Amino acid sequence: MKGGYTGRILRLDLTGKSTGTIATEQYEEFGGGHGIGSAIFFDLVGDQLPFDAFDPRNVITIMTAPFSGTLVPGSGRCEVQGLAPMYHPIEWFNRSNWGGHFTAELKYAGWDGIVIEGVSDEPVWINIINDKVSFESAEGLWGLDVPSTQEEICRRVLPGAKFAEWAEAGSTYTTQMPAVACIGLAGENRSRVASIVHGAGSSAAQGGFGGVWGAKRLKAISVIGTGSVPVADPKALMEARTWFNHFQWNVDKPIDPKMETRAFMLFNGAPSGGNVLNNSLPLEPARAAACASCPRACRMRLAGGKSNEATCAATVSFMNLNSPRIDRMRATDLLHSYGINHWHVHGPVDYVYGLYKLGVLGRGKKIECDLPFEQHGKLEFVEALMRRMATREGIGDDLSEGLARAAIKWGRYEEDTASGLLPLAYWGSYEHYDPRVEVEWGYGSLLGERDIMMHSFNYPLHWMPMAMMNAGVEPYLTAEKAVEMVAATMIPYQGDVFMMDYGEGPTGIYSEHKVKQVAWHRHYERFWIDCTGFCGWRWPMFFTNNTVDRKGATPEAEPKFYNAVTGKNMSFADGMETGRKIWNLDKSIWVLQGRHRNQEVFPDYVHSKPSAAHVMPVYRNGKWAWETNAGRTLDKTRFEEWKTKFYEFEGWDTSSGWPKRKTLEELGLRKVADTLQKRGRLG
């Protein structure tokens, strides 16, 4: 191995309180991050599937990536994998991740990742200081919220340390505070929607991995590293980073001054765009905050200290509170303090209130609930809801099981998913972007394992035109120019503009062009995002308002950075093929869990309830346009026909959706094919 890796993965046996190592080199073919995590999971327990997420056999991997701890921009993500208890009807092998500086610190400590096995007989936390790894009693930490846990661990690891001053850490010295990832009360109580939180606002929220840590009696992992990350070609890395400045927001002299508004924060590249609670002009003094090595700095630190570093949905979740801004910020802090998935707080708020208005939920109703509905829309209501979810008090016990399981228990699931009152679009996940219109998101989530949470096409092809039209200005690219620029980057299918047709015509959402777009998206994410440590908010960059010609850094940037760090000679297409390999490995794990084509279906509301307006590019009568696409339903028959096209394209059996031996062997996954064949699940 050359640069980008330390060469060792830490193996933790919680049952025996022992440690070991795995040589990273034996998994080098999987690239890093997600790929290595999937391969390790398969090797350790793949032949024992299926079992549940709370089973002691569930292996949780926490992986860094080759870019972690280097100067590569937007590469501070930490990949978490394992069986995820949130999903329904099967707790799929899954992924989540957080940002911050945990992966950088872990690499500086000399580790490429952590593999967590077994169950502790008592609450523990893991203390990592370079090579020294110890199991510590968490008796005094169990029951603490997330901020209190992190603060107490910092005091224990570095007694008396002061900010930015040298402190003794084991046999060495550091100016850094420990990077701590921990769970709150929701995780301790095995909530299926509990998150793992690092720092002030970085969390692996999707999947319920915080609940798995709670089941394993693992409260936290703390790491301090005083080493460095080997880089194969430091000169090439510095040149690549300098070159990338061309694509960044110029805070002193923006290329396009009209883009300097909070209305365009999701896609303009300007700092501090992630916290929507302090706009349009800052309502209190604030400064940008960033994950390790990221020049975008989408986070925000406010003078008042509330909602610090919270971004995107964690702040959007409470935008509709009929309360002062400070209450919305307090709600965001409570969310992180309890360690609850933000995406599964606003869902319960809407759903239980909908049932309350129907007269079936409340005090003395069919579904008993003592939430203070007279306070709905205020901090007091969401505070009561989150407290119950975190402690499993009252109705919180049901909601902590996730909305799908709660609705089943209440006898409401079939009716409410059919009507859209409960819009669980894919695997028990609350609808994110409309699966009837922005289909690369919906199709990709359904064919995968979770809400994909990948804004690759969403920011440039939805938010850019929609936000600019809402602001009364023309989008900075026409629909025709936008799809041309995106298609030009999409190696190995480059040039096919109809991949971006979101209409219902012959080149649209049911066509082979959409097959290629969805496949490209899944393969790109699996390698260029999840294996390298890149952030899905930053990458890919198809086009940008920060260059005169609007060209983005993709597809030149990805291999430029990868080869500089690792010393390899990988092309963009090579990375896409590795992504296809990992996508097929993940698919095989899902098949071992019980996945079948018949399960990959949307709830009835997607096929029967018309969509709201959702701007995307559409090709109609020989012309491209930004269209609202309101009033659409997804045709069930045509979607099933599209699935067949997708399975054929991926080399999967069209009747079952299972990978074929030929496909797996071509990808170097003969061992995986053998396992599927032994189980009678080879396509």
pLDDT in tens, 33-78: 999 999 999 999 999 999 999 999 999 999 999 999 999 999 999 9
Domain with CATH 1.10.569.10 in the chain: 264-430
pLDDT value for 1: 80
Fold of 8-224: Aldehyde Ferredoxin Oxidoreductase;  A, domain 1 (3.60.9)
pLDDT tens digits, 584-615 = 999 999 999 999 999 999 999 999 999 999 99
Contacts of 324 (CB under 8 A, 6+ apart): none
pLDDT tens digits, 104-133 = 999 999 999 999 999 999 999 999 999 999
pLDDT value for 313: 65
Nearest 5 degrees, angle CA 70-CA 104-CA 562?
35
- 292, 65 contact by CB (below 8 A): no
3-state secondary structure 21-42: EEEHHHHHHHCCHHHHHHHHHH
Which segments of 366-459 are extended strands (E)? 367-368, 424-426, 429-430
User: Coil, helix or strand for 577?
Assistant: helix
The neighbouring-strand residues paired with 222 are 127, 180
pLDDT value for 312: 66
User: Coil, helix or strand for 287?
Assistant: strand
Task: Inform me whether the pLDDT recorded for 280 exceeds 80.
Answer: no
3-state secondary structure 371-396: CCHHHCCCHHHHHHHHHHHHHCCCCH
What mean pLDDT comes out for the span 496-503?
Answer: 99
Task: Inform me whether the pLDDT recorded for 546 exceeds 60.
Answer: yes
pLDDT value for 279: 60
- Listed range (224-228, 274-278, 346-350, 591-595) with the worst mean pLDDT: 274-278
Pairwise CA distance, residues 407 & 416, whole Å: 8
pLDDT value for 164: 78
Residue 301's φ and ψ, nearest 5 degrees, are: -115, 125
pLDDT value for 359: 98
pLDDT tens digits, 395-434 = 999 999 999 999 999 999 999 999 999 999 999 999 999 9
Structure-model confidence comparison of residues 612 and 314, the more confident one = 612
Domain with CATH 1.10.599.10 in the chain: 439-678
pLDDT value for 107: 98
Amino acid identity at 401: E
- 632, 518 contact by CB (below 8 A): no
pLDDT tens digits, 355-411 = 999 999 999 999 999 999 999 999 999 999 999 999 999 999 999 999 999 999 999
Mean pLDDT for the chain overall: 94
Instruction: State in Å, rounded, how far the first CA of the chain is from the last one.
Output: 35
> Can you say whether the dihedral through the CA atoms of 359, 362, 368, 369 is positive or negative?
positive
pLDDT value for 302: 76
Phi-psi region of 428 (alpha: psi -120 to 50; beta: other; left: phi over 0): left
Pairwise CA distance, residues 137 & 125, whole Å: 6
Q: Which two tokens stand for residue 9?
A: 């993965």
Tell me the percentage of the chain whose pLDDT exceeds 70: 97
Amino acid identity at 288: A
Q: Token pair 């937007």 is at which residue?
A: 74
Pairwise CA distance, residues 264 & 258, whole Å: 10
**CATH architecture for residues 439-678:** Orthogonal Bundle (1.10)
Contacts of 305 (CB under 8 A, 6+ apart): none
Pairwise CA distance, residues 498 & 618, whole Å: 9
**CATH architecture for residues 264-430:** Orthogonal Bundle (1.10)
Parallel, antiparallel, or unpaired: how do β-strands 179-182 and 196-198 relate? Answer: antiparallel
Contacts of 263 (CB under 8 A, 6+ apart): 280, 467, 470, 471
Of all helices (H) and strands (E), which one includes residue 487? helix 479-489
Domain with CATH 3.60.9.10 in the chain: 8-224
Structure-model confidence comparison of residues 251 and 656, the more confident one = 656
- 639, 600 contact by CB (below 8 A): no
**Band of residue 560 on the pLDDT scale cut at 50, 70, 90:** very high
Pairwise CA distance, residues 335 & 594, whole Å: 33
What mean pLDDT comes out for the span 516-523?
Answer: 99
pLDDT value for 481: 99
pLDDT value for 538: 87
pLDDT value for 278: 63
Which segments of 578-647 are extended strands (E)? 616-620, 623-627
Pairwise CA distance, residues 574 & 550, whole Å: 26
Q: Of the candidates 340, 123, 299, 135, which has an alpha carbon nearest to the alpha carbon of residue 215?
A: 123
pLDDT value for 325: 77
Pairwise CA distance, residues 346 & 385, whole Å: 10
What mean pLDDT comes out for the span 191-197?
Answer: 98
